[in-house]
Structures are given as structure tokens and as C-alpha cells.
């Protein structure tokens, strides 16, 4: 049977599991451009990559390695000025049917209007867990760090080390959690003016093309699960790791909880858990759990 768990079992049986040390990645070694050709432009010795969108296509890159849990940091400077209609992404996704996904998406806006940081989680091909936030800074003038922590207990989305969202493993309550399919890291920019800005009202103005977002200081500390013979596990140095890395058990301490509450109470602009119109028969079950345990 071709099921995610049987595939995963094969992966575990036949392939190596490596632990990466925390160290900076190199875009030349660690990613492939999977669309957009020269619109994805690696520079600075592999430390930076800029992705462009023009009226023909966007562009994107995907990691060579696959990961099952880890900490994934990326510094991103988003499209400046008029970015309405554009979507810039940084996400993790498994391959094949019934996929799992952990998403950061950045929805552009007209000059001077705020971006939205859009987050979502897919388990076994099912998403519908969107939460959106306004950033507390202008994400187009400087690089800011966007982090996914993914361990067997929870997923934490962080911006500049401030947790904005947590999604816990509630399998004990019958709620799915992505923990059996390895994922790759993806980043892309594309035209989504049918929905991205003010629900699709504000269109991409191609006068301003190309639209360019830049990525740098890619840093992965993770468990790699794949057959690659390359020595790289999302970074240029790989060693077996004997001690437990912080991300493996990371949760939210009192200070983190306070920060998360601040973001959620003041900057959250959409929460699927309170969209009663969309879920007239009741919101998904994790929404009924206490806030930090959702």
C-alpha cells in the first residue's frame, strides 16, 4: 500500500538519519532553483539569494535535503514599495499525496500599506488552519528572521525570536499532527492577485515589475532523513550530535507566552478558530483546547 506511513517506514529502514550541527547554510550547495531560472539569483558566496517575479513568471528554490523535525531560520527582506498582489513564501512541505506543510506566506500590499504574515499547517493533505498577523515593523527595509521550530511535541512560528503562533501535538485527542513525513524547505515569489491583497481587490501593478524579495543567513539545525550522499544536511558542516539541541524539546516559557499573547492580542488579523461563518458546524477540534495547548 502506498501510504505515507509505509513510505516513511521504508525511508527509515533504508536510509540514513543524520543530525545537523547548527551552522549557516549555503544556497549554492543546499538548494535548487525549481522555477524561474535566472529570476532566482544566488550571490554573496552562497549566503544570499534574491527571487524575482515579472509578468512572465515568479521563481523559487527548494532544499536538497529532507528533514524530519528541526529549527529552520531564514532572514528575509520583502518586496518594497508597491507589492500588492504578490506573495512571497518560506515553508516546509513533504512530497507526494496527503502532504504535510508548515507555511509562512507574506501577502504584499500597496505602497505604505501593511503586509500580512500568513501562517498555515497541513496534515495529511488537509490545511484550513490559517492565522494571519500584521508585522510590528516594516518588513521591506531590513532583513528579519523567520523561524519554524518543528519537534514531536509542537510547531512554533517565530519572527525575530518572538513566537507568533504555536500548534501542539494533540494526537492524543484525535487531532492530526505532522510527524511522520519528512519535509523540504521551499521559498518562492508568485503572483496571487486573485486573492492576496484585500481579498483580491488590489491587483499587481506590472509597471513596478520585477518584484524582488531577498533571503540570507539560512540556518538549519535538524534531523535529515534522505538518501543523499552529499555531506550537507542543510548546512555545510554535518556531524553526529550527541547532546540534545534546544529545538528538540523547545516549548514556550512564561516570557514566550507573554510575547505570544501580545502578538495574538494586538496584531492577529485572521484566526480560523474564530471564523464561525466558515465553520458553521463548529471550528476544528484544536480550537477548543486552551490557547497554549491548541
Ligand X SMILES: *[C@@H]1O[C@H](CO)[C@@H](O)[C@H](O)[C@H]1NC(C)=O
Q: How far lies 32's CA from each of 44, 60, 65, 285, 294, in Å?
A: 17, 9, 10, 38, 35
Q: Which stretch binds ligand X (CB under 6 A): 38-46, 153-161, 170-178, 250-258?
A: 38-46
In degrees, to the nearest 5, what angle opens at C-alpha 274 toward C-alphas 268 and 278? Answer: 120
Q: Which of 57, 113, 169, 264 binds ligand X (CB under 6 A)?
A: 113
Nearer to ligand X, 64 or 109 (CB): 109
Residue 288 CB, shortest distance to ligand X, in Å, is 28
223: β partners: 19
53 sits near ligand X (criterion: CB under 6 A): no
Known catalytic membership, residue 105: yes
DSSP string, 70-134: EEEEEEEEPPPS--TTEEEEEEEE--SSS--EEEEEEE--STTSPPEEEEEEEBTTB----EEE-
Binding residues for ligand X restricted to 171-210, rule: CB under 6 A: 197-198, 205, 207
For the CA atoms of 26, 30, 31, 37, the dihedral, rounded to the nearest 10 degrees, stands at 60
Binding mask 134-173 for ligand X (x = CB under 6 A): ------xx--------------------------------
Nearer to ligand X, 123 or 166 (CB): 166
Q: Which of 7, 78, 87, 107 binds ligand X (CB under 6 A)?
A: 107
Positive or negative CA dihedral for 187, 193, 199, 201?
positive
Rule CB under 6 A: which residues touch ligand X?
22-24, 38, 41, 43, 55, 71, 73, 80-81, 107, 109, 111, 113-114, 116, 140-141, 197-198, 205, 207, 217, 219, 221
So which residues are the catalytic ones?
Answer: 101, 105
Amino acid at each position: 500500500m502506498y501510504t505515507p506511513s509505509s513510505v516513511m517506514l521504508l525511508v527509515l529502514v533504508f536510509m540514513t538519519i543524520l543530525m545537523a550541527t547548527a551552522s549557516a547554510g549555503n544556497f549554492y550547495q543546499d538548494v535548487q532553483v525549481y522555477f524561474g531560472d535566472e529570476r532566482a539569483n544566488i550571490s554573496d558566496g552562497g549566503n544570499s539569494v534574491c527571487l524575482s517575479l515579472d509578468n512572465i513568471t515568479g521563481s523559487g528554490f527548494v532544499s536538497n535535503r529532507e528533514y524530519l523535525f528541526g529549527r529552520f531560520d531564514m532572514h528575509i527582506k520583502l518586496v518594497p514599495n508597491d507589492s500588492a498582489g504578490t506573495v512571497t513564501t518560506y515553508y516546509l512541505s513533504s512530497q507526494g499525496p496527503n502532504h504535510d506543510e508548515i507555511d509562512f506566506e507574506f501577502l504584499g500590499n500597496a505602497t505604505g500599506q501593511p503586509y500580512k504574515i500568513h501562517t498555515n499547517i497541513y496534515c495529511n493533505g488537509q490545511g484550513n488552519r490559517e492565522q494571519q498577523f500584521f508585522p510590528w515593523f516594516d518588513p521591506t527595509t531590513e532583513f528579519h528572521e523567520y523561524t519554524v521550530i518543528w519537534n514531536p511535541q509542537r510547531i512554533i512560528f517565530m519572527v525575530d525570536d518572538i513566537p507568533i503562533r504555536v500548534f501542539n501535538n494533540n494526537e492524543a485527542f484525535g487531532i492530526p499532527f505532522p510527524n511522520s513525513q519528512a519535509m523540504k524547505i521551499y521559498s518562492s515569489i508568485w503572483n496571487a492577485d486573485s486573492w492576496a491583497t484585500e481579498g483580491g481587490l488590489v491587483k499587481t501593478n506590472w509597471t513596478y515589475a520585477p518584484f524582488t524579495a531577498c533571503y540570507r543567513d539560512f540556518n538549519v539545525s535538524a534531523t535529515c532523513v534522505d538518501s543523499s550522499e552529499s555531506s550537507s544536511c542543510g548546512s555545510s558542516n554535518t556531524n553526529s550530535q550527541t547532546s540534545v539541541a534546544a529545538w528538540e524539546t523547545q516549548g514556550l516559557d512564561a516570557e514566550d507566552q507573554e510575547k505570544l499573547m501580545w502578538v495574538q492580542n494586538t496584531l492577529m488579523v485572521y484566526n480560523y478558530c474564530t471564523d464561525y461563518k466558515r465553520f458553521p458546524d463548529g471550528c476544528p477540534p484544536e480550537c477548543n483546547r486552551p490557547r497554549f495547548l491548541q
